[in-house]
Structure 1
Amino acid sequence: MAGSRAKKEEAYDAGSLTVLEGLDAVRKRPGMYIGTTDSQGLMHCLWEIIDNSVDEALAGACDEITVILHDDGSIEVDDNGRGIPVDVEPKTGLSGVEVVMTKLHAGAKFGNASYTAVGGLHGVGSSVVNALSSRLDVEVDRDGKTHRMQFHQGHPGVYEDADPTRPSPDATFRRTRKNRPTVLQVVGSVPKRRTGTRVRYWADPEIFNDTARFDYNQLIDRVRQTSFLVPGLKITVIDENIPETGDPAHDEFMEVDGDRAHTPAGPLDGQEAGSRSGNEAADRSEGQDGVEEEAPAEDGAPAWGTQEEATQEEATQEEFQEESPDWTGDGADGDQAAQALGISPIRQERHRRVEEFLHTGGVVDFVDFLSKGEPVSSIWHISGEGSYEEETQRVGADGELHAEKVRRTCGVDIALRWINDYDTTVRSFVNVVETPGGGMHVDGFLNAITRQVRKNVEANARRLKVNLKDSRSKVERDDVMAGLVAVVTVRIAEPQFQGQTKDVLGTAQVKPIVTRMTDGQFGEMISGSKRGFKEQSERVLEKIVGEMHARIQARKTKEVTRRKNALESASMPAKLSDSMPGNDDIAELFIVEGDSALGTAKAARNSMFQALLPIRGKILNVQKASLTQMLTNKECASIIQVVGAGSGSSFDITQARYNKVIMMTDADVDGAHIRILLLTLFYRYMRPLIEYGHVYAAVPPLHRIALAGKHKGEFIYTYSDDELEGRLADLRERHIDYNPDVQRYKGLGEMDADQLADTTMDPRTRMLRRIRMEDAEQAAGIFPLLMGDDVPPRKQFIVDNAEDFDRSKIDT
C-alpha cells in the first residue's frame, strides 16, 4: 500500500501542469521582462512608460512630456500625444486602453503603420508595469472627453478612494468580473483638439525587493539624454517630495540634500488637480456593469525608500520646525498671526522642484554636453538614411501571421569629436533607447573610423613620423578611441534587441549602412578634403599617432621596467639611484630638483627603500605639448620608465614599482612651478597615481634657528616667514637664547645630509603632503585653464581670484 501511494504522489500527468493566464506570468517571473527586481528593475518600469510617450514624439504627435514624482510613492507620466485608443478592439471586444494595459504583445507598434521608429517595440511595456504595480491609473484625453481606467496588480476595476485628490492603492477595489470587458469611465471634458495620455502607478512592494530604491539623478540623466535625442521635445520633471516652508531661505535649507535617492512625491495641485478629480463621485456611478465587490487591496507600497528614511525626513521637519519660530500650522489662526507680523504665511506643505529640458541641436548638443576637457577638434556630424530588406511577420486580413519581405529605412545620426585626453565616451541609441552594450550600429561606426584613420595615417606617414616598415607601427582601435566623445544613433522600424532590456542592437542590416555612411562622410573630414577640416584632421591624426606611440612605448616599458631581479635595474636610466629590490610595498621614489640636491639626498636617504631620480630644472609642460613631444622628452620619458606602470590608457597601477612618488623641490616659487609641471604629467598620463593617493610633495623647511645657552646644539625648523616670526617671539617670551643669525635655505643643496634626512626624508621625522583629487571634473577644468595655451582665460582667472588669494594654501 505504501508503495502504491508513493507512486500516486509522484505521478506526472497533465494535471501537474500550471497555466498562468494574462499578466500572472509577469508577476511570477518579473525578471524575464524587467531584468531584476531591485533598483534597476524599478527604474526600468519607469523607462517603459516614458518610452511610450517618447514614441509618440518620434511619430510627430507629441512635443511635451511631464514626469511627476508624488509623495506617496507613485509616479505619473503625462504626454500630449494622440492618446491611447478608447474605442473597442474588434478581436478581443475590449477597449484599446484595456488591451494595451492587460495584453502582452499588444499595441499599434505591431501594425507598422502608426509608428515607424519606436523604443517600446515588444508591446509588453505598459502591461508589464501594470502587472508589477499595486495600483495603476490611466487617463486618456480623446474626442473631447477624459477617459479613465484603474487596475490592481494588473486586474481592471474601480478604486473607491476616500479622498479623490489622494488616491491610494489601499483603497477599496471593485474588480471587474472575469472575462467581461471593463467600461471606460468618463471623468471630465476637454477641448476636442486636446489629446494625451496620463499614467500613474504605484510599484508593488510584493514584487520589488528591499534594496529597490528610486534614483532621481538617474531619472534626470535619462530625461536629459532623451531631450538631446528628440530635438524640440520638452520634458518636465516635477518632484513634489521636498518639504516647503514658504520661506525661500528655509526652502533652500531643505533642498541641500540633492544627492540622495529621492522618494517620488505629492499629489496634483491647483486647477490641474481639480480638472482631473472633479465630479469623480458622480462619474464613478457610470459604467459599473460587471463590477463586483472585492476585499480591500493588500497594503500598498510606501514611498520608495526605507522606513528609516521616512522617519528621518519627519524628524528633520520637526527639528526644523523647532528652530523656526515663524513656523505655523495650516489653520487660519496661523495665517493671521503670520500676516500680523508682516510676513507670508508659512505652511507645512510640499514644494515642487521643477526641472525642464528642451534642446534643438540634437546629437551635436549632446556631444558638446559630454565633452569634458580641451577639444582637439570641433564636433563632426554624420547623418543620412539607408535602406535594407528584412523578412518579418505581418498580421494578414485573416488575423494570421504571414512571412513578408519589407523595405526598411535606417536613419543615421552621429556626432563625434576628440578631446585632449585618453578616456573614451561613446553613447549609442536606437530610437532614443540607449544600448549600453553597443551592437551593430556601434560596430559599423568604429570599424569605419578605424579604417579611415589607418588609411590617412599611411597617406601622411612622413609628416606624422610613422615608420610603415615597422609592423608594430599600426594604428589600433584603442588608439582611435582614446579621447573620443561620440553619440551614435539610428532610427529603424522593429529593431531586434538582445532581450527585453534592449542593451544590444542585433539588427545585422544596420551595420553595413552605418559603415558605408561613416566611411563616406568621416572619410572626407579626416582626410581634410572637406572644407574647413584640414587643420582639425591634422590635429586628430597627430593625437591618434601619439596614442599609438604611447601604447608601443608602454609595452616596451613594461618589458624592461618590471623589477624581478637585480639585473633589471641596469635597464633603468643611468641617473636613477634605485633602492634595494624586495621592498616594493614600502618603496619610495624621490624626484629631486638638481644635481646638487641629489648629492645631499644620496647621503640622507635609506637606500633599502628610497630611490632618487634627479631632473634638470623645469620639465616639459605636457598640457601644451603633444603626446609625441612628451614621449620624446628625456625627463618625462625617464619618469614614466622609472615608475614602470606605463602611461595614458595603458597605465596599470598594479605594475608601479614604488608605493610613494615624492616630489622634492626647493621651497621657492621655482620649486612650486616644477611641482605643478610634474603634477600635470601625472594627471595627464599617470592619473591613477593621484587618484589612489600615491603622489606626495616633500615639505623642506625655509629656516633653521640654532638655539644657544643651555639648549646649544638644538635646532628649530620653520616653514614660512610667519611661522619664523612666531617662533622667535615665543623664544624671546620664554627667555630662550638663540643665534640671531637665522639660516635661510635657498635650496635643498644648502642642507647637509643630516638636516635633509631629519626634515624631509626620514619617515620618522619628516612631513609630506599627499596630493588628492577630490573633484575629478574640477581638476579636468583647472589643468587646461592654468597650464594650457589659452592665456586670456588664465589671466582673467587670476584677476577674479586675486582678492581671495590665501598664501596658506600654497606649499611654498
Structure 2
Amino acid sequence: MSTAVEDAVDATGYSARHLSVLEGLEAVRKRPGMYIGSTDSRGLIHCLWEIVDNCVDEALAGYCTHVDVVLHKDGSVSVGDNGRGIPVDLEPKTKLPGVELVMTRLHAGGKFGGVSYTASGGLHGVGASVVNALSARLDVEVDRSGYTHHISFRRGLPGTFDGAGPGAPFTKESGVHKGKRIVKGKTGTRTRFWPDFQIFLKDATIALDLVLDRMRQTAFLVPGLEISLRDERPDEVFEETFRYDGGIAEFTTFLAQDPPLCDTLRIGGQGHFTETVPVLDDLGHLVPTDVARELDVDVAMRWGTGYDTKVRSFVNVIATPKHGTHVQGFDRALVKTVNEQLRAVKLLKNGDDNVTKDDILEGMTAIVTVRLPEPQFEGQTKEILGTSDANRIVFNVVCRELKAIFENPGRAQKLQHRAVLEKIVGAAKTRIAARTQRDNQRRKNALESSALPAKLVDCRTTDDRSELFIVEGDSALGTAKMARDSEFQALLPIRGKILNVQKSSVADMLKNTECAAIIQVVGAGSGRTFDVDSARYGKIILMADADVDGAHIRCLLLTLLHRYMRPMIESGRVYAAVPPLHRIQLTNPKRGMDKYIYCYSDAELRRKLVELERKGLRWKEPPQRYKGLGEMDADQLAETTMDPRHRTLRRIRIEDTEVANSMFDLLMGSEVPPRREFIIAGAAEIDESRIDT
C-alpha cells in the first residue's frame, strides 16, 4: 500500500510538502480583500471604521461618552475613547493578556457571549485583529485599574519599538507593559496604527469628507455621544466635533432636502426570536443551542414635497448600504399599511390596483435602525443584514405603529396624513400613465413593423397612382375585387363600425383590430410620429353604403384619420366614394342610350324621371333603391364607384383646424349634452317623409 502511494507521489510530483497552513494573522495578509473588501482607499478607511466601531460599541453599552479620531501628518490614525478599556488581565485558556488576545486572534473578543455587549457593530470579532495584521505598526494604550498599559505590534506580532514610527527597531515579545499611574476610575482605550503599504496601494488615503460623513452619521445614531475629529495632514489643522441629542429624527431632517409634507414620524418597538447557534460546552465542543434574542426597532420617516427617495438603514449603528432583511420588513409593512389606509379613506376604490413600494417611497426620507446581539451579515464588510427574523419583527412593529399613527392623528396631523396619501395616489397615477404610454409605444412599434393583415387585397404599384379603398363588409369586398383595377387599386375590408377613437384612449385604439389594421396598411405610423411621405398609397378612399349606417361608418373612419393620420387629410389624399343611391332600368332605350341610369340623390332621381317622361321613355317600376354596395354586380360597381373615368369622389378637406376639432368633439366626443343640443337645434331641418317608421 505504501509503495503504491509513493509511486503516485513520484509520478505526479505533488505531495504533502506542497500544502500550506496559514497560522494566526497570515491569512489576513495573504487575502486582505476577504476582510476589508480591497487594498485601495476604500479598504484603508474600512480599517478606521473597524477601530471606531469598537468605541461606538462601548457607547451603545452605556460606558462611553466621547470618541476622538486624529488623522496624523505621518499617515497614521489614532482613535480613542473613554470606555471601559480593553481588558489587560490574562485570559484563562490562552494565558495571554486580553488586549493581546483581541489584537492577535481572529474571532476573539467580548461580543460573542452576549454578556459584555448586547448590541454591537463589530460582531465578527475580527475587526481589530485584521487592522493589526495590515498595519506596519499598531500601538494600544489602555487606561484601567489606575494605570496606563501599553502594547505594540508589528504586522500582527506583539513586541516593542525602540523609537517612534513603524521604522523604529522592533523586538518581538509578548505581554503588556504597565506604564504611569493615572487617576483612579479613569478608563479608556487609545489605538494608533500605521497602514502597511506592503499591503495597501501606495496612493491609498483616507478622505476627510468620508470621515466627516461617517462621524456625523454615528453621532446622529447614538444620541448624546460626542465625536471629535482632528486632521493634522494639511498645513492648517482641521477640527470638528459632532453631538446630536435628537437621534434619528434629527438625522432624517438633516438628510431631507425638500420642504416637509408632514412631521417626522417616529416608530419604535421590539420583538423576540430564537436562534440556533453553536456554543462551546465544558469540554470545548461546539454544541448547537437555542438562544433567545431581542431585536429593537427604531424608525424615523417623513414625506416631503419632492420626488427623491432617501432610505438609510443601520444595524447596531453600522450602515447597511445594500440594506437587508430589516429593510425588507419595513418595505412590506409600508405597502400593506398604506394600501389599507388608502382604501379606508376611499382614495383607492374597489377595483383599483394597489399602490406599489415605489409610489410610497416617492419623496420619502427614512432611517431604519435595528439593534440585536450577533446579527448575521453577508460578508465582513457588513453591507447586508441576513438575520431572517428581522424581516418579520420589523414588519410587525411598523405595521402596528404606523397604523396607530394614521388612525389616531391630531387635527394638524390629519391634514398632513391626507396630503401624504394624496401624494402617494398621485405618484401611482403618474406611474400607471407612464407605463401605459410605454406599452402603447411598444404596441405601436410592433404594429408598424409587423406583417400586413391577411385580409388586405393589395395592388401591384406603389406610386402616387395607388389607391386604398376601405370597404364596408365582406359582401362588398367580393364585388369590389372583381370591379377593381388590381394594378393600382387595393382593398381593405372592415367589419361593421370601428371604434370611436374620439372618446377612447390610445391604448384602446391600438387594441382595436380594425383601427390597427388601417394603421398597418397605410404604413406611415400614427399620431405625432405619422409621416405622410411614408404612406403606402397615394389616396385613401372610404367606400361605404349610401345609407345612414354607411354615413356613420364614414364619420368613424374620418375620426380615426383626423386624430391619428391628419396629414393625409391636410395633403388632400383622403376621399369618400359616392356610390349611386338609385338605378333606373329603361325598357325602351333609344339607340346609343345606356340601359341603366344611376342617380346619386333623391332630388336627382325626381329630376331624371321627369326628364325621361318628357322624352317618352319608359322604365321598370319602381326604380331600384340600393341598400348596399353588395347589391351591385362588378361591372356596375366599377362603372359607378371605382373606375376613375366615370366615378365621383368627394375630397375631404380641412379649411379651419379649430372648427374641425370642435366639430369632431361635438359629434364624436364623450360630452353628451352639447351633442343633444346640436341635434335638437337641427331637428327642424329634417324631412320627416324620409324617416322610415
Indicate if the aligned counterparts of 2:71 and 2:78 stay in contact, CA closer than 8 A. yes
Greater alpha carbon shift after TM alignment, 405-414 vs 47-56: 405-414
Partner of 1:454: 339
How many residue pairs match? The answer is 445
Partner of 2:392: 512
Q: Distance in 2 between matches of 1:119 and 1:376?
A: 34
Give the SS at the match of 1:89.
coil
Indicate if the aligned counterparts of 2:220 and 2:246 stay in contact, CA closer than 8 A. yes
Cα displacement (A) at 1:184: 1.3
Matched, 1:432 2:337: no
Q: What one-letter code is carried by the residue in structure 2 that aligns with 1:535?
A: L
Q: Distance in 1 between matches of 2:222 and 2:281?
A: 33
Give the SS at the match of 2:423.
helix
Equivalent position to 2:219, from 227, 238, 241: 227
Partner of 2:88: 86
Residues 99-138 of structure 1 mapped to structure 2, 5 A cutoff: 99-138=101-140
Q: Distance in 1 between matches of 2:134 and 2:367?
A: 33
Equivalent position to 1:98, from 100, 124, 135: 100
Partner of 2:300: 415
Equivalent position to 1:490, from 370, 376, 392: 370
Matched, 1:213 2:205: yes
Cα displacement (A) at 1:145: 0.7
Q: What one-letter code is carried by the residue in structure 1 that aligns with 2:363?
A: G
Question: For each residue in 1:665-702, what CA deviation from the matched residue of structure 2 results, as whole angstroms up to 9, or x when unmatched?
Answer: xxxxxxxxxxxxxxxxxxxxxxxxxxxxxxxxxxxxxx
Q: CA 1:548–1:26 in structure 2 vs 1: closer, same or farther (change >3 Å)?
A: same
Cα displacement (A) at 1:542: 0.3
TM-score (norm 1): 0.53
Give the SS at the match of 1:77.
strand
Matched, 1:469 2:351: yes
Partner of 1:402: 287
Q: What one-letter code is carried by the residue in structure 1 that aligns with 2:29?
A: R
Residues 328-343 of structure 1 mapped to structure 2, 5 A cutoff: none
Q: Which runs of 5+ in 1 are unaligned?
A: 162-166, 177-181, 244-350, 569-656, 659-812
TM-score (norm 2): 0.62
Indicate if the aligned counterparts of 1:428 and 1:436 stay in contact, CA closer than 8 A. yes
Cα displacement (A) at 1:242: 2.5
Q: CA 1:452–1:563 in structure 2 vs 1: closer, same or farther (change >3 Å)?
A: closer
Cα displacement (A) at 1:155: 0.7
Q: Distance in 1 between matches of 2:120 and 2:69?
A: 19
Residues 671-710 of structure 1 mapped to structure 2, 5 A cutoff: none
Cα displacement (A) at 1:525: 1.9
Indicate if the aligned counterparts of 2:261 and 2:420 stay in contact, CA closer than 8 A. yes
Equivalent position to 2:70, from 50, 68, 88: 68
Q: Distance in 2 between matches of 1:560 and 1:28?
A: 56
Q: Distance in 2 between matches of 1:564 and 1:239?
A: 61
Indicate if the aligned counterparts of 2:71 and 2:77 stay in contact, CA closer than 8 A. yes
Matched, 1:441 2:326: yes
Indicate if the aligned counterparts of 1:452 and 1:526 stay in contact, CA closer than 8 A. no
Q: What one-letter code is carried by the residue in structure 2 that aligns with 1:441?
A: H
Indicate if the aligned counterparts of 2:100 and 2:175 stay in contact, CA closer than 8 A. no
Question: For each residue in 1:566-594, what CA deviation from the matched residue of structure 2 results, as whole angstroms up to 9, or x when unmatched?
Answer: 999xxxxxxxxxxxxxxxxxxxxxxxxxx
Q: CA 1:567–1:124 in structure 2 vs 1: closer, same or farther (change >3 Å)?
A: closer
Q: Distance in 1 between matches of 2:433 and 2:253?
A: 32
Give the SS at the match of 1:146.
strand
Q: Distance in 2 between matches of 1:59 and 1:189?
A: 27
Partner of 1:360: 245
Partner of 2:600: none
Cα displacement (A) at 1:565: 7.7
Q: CA 1:62–1:552 in structure 2 vs 1: closer, same or farther (change >3 Å)?
A: same
Matched, 1:525 2:527: no
Residues 120-199 of structure 1 mapped to structure 2, 5 A cutoff: 120-161=122-163, 167-176=164-173, 182-199=174-191
Question: For each residue in 1:367-403, what CA deviation from the matched residue of structure 2 results, as whole angstroms up to 9, or x when unmatched?
Answer: 0111100111110000122211112222333443332
Matched, 1:36 2:38: yes
Cα displacement (A) at 1:80: 0.5
Q: Distance in 1 between matches of 2:23 and 2:443?
A: 66
Q: What one-letter code is carried by the residue in structure 2 that aligns with 1:42?
A: L
Question: For each residue in 1:598-657, what CA deviation from the matched residue of structure 2 results, as whole angstroms up to 9, or x when unmatched?
Answer: xxxxxxxxxxxxxxxxxxxxxxxxxxxxxxxxxxxxxxxxxxxxxxxxxxxxxxxxxxx9
Q: What one-letter code is carried by the residue in structure 1 that aligns with 2:258?
A: G
Q: Distance in 1 between matches of 2:389 and 2:435?
A: 38
Q: What one-letter code is carried by the residue in structure 2 that aligns with 1:205?
A: F
Cα displacement (A) at 1:420: 1.2
Partner of 2:23: 21
Partner of 1:720: none
Pair member with larger Rg: 2
Residues 556-705 of structure 1 mapped to structure 2, 5 A cutoff: 556-560=436-440
Indicate if the aligned counterparts of 1:238 and 1:354 stay in contact, CA closer than 8 A. yes
Indicate if the aligned counterparts of 1:111 and 1:395 stay in contact, CA closer than 8 A. no
Give the SS at the match of 1:135.
strand
Q: Distance in 1 between matches of 2:373 and 2:184?
A: 31
Give the SS at the match of 1:506.
coil
Partner of 1:694: none
Partner of 1:386: 271
Q: Distance in 1 between matches of 2:407 and 2:203?
A: 52
Indicate if the aligned counterparts of 2:71 and 2:230 stay in contact, CA closer than 8 A. yes
Cα displacement (A) at 1:16: 1.6
Indicate if the aligned counterparts of 2:9 and 2:15 stay in contact, CA closer than 8 A. no
Q: Distance in 2 between matches of 1:496 and 1:434?
A: 14
Q: Distance in 2 between matches of 1:198 and 1:89?
A: 21
Indicate if the aligned counterparts of 2:343 and 2:349 stay in contact, CA closer than 8 A. no
Question: For each residue in 1:307-341, what CA deviation from the matched residue of structure 2 results, as whole angstroms up to 9, or x when unmatched?
Answer: xxxxxxxxxxxxxxxxxxxxxxxxxxxxxxxxxxx
Partner of 1:374: 259
Q: Distance in 2 between matches of 1:469 and 1:450?
A: 17
Q: What one-letter code is carried by the residue in structure 1 that aligns with 2:429?
A: H
Give the SS at the match of 1:109.
coil
Q: Distance in 2 between matches of 1:474 and 1:117?
A: 37
Q: CA 1:566–1:485 in structure 2 vs 1: closer, same or farther (change >3 Å)?
A: closer
Indicate if the aligned counterparts of 1:100 and 1:107 stay in contact, CA closer than 8 A. yes
Cα displacement (A) at 1:561: 5.9
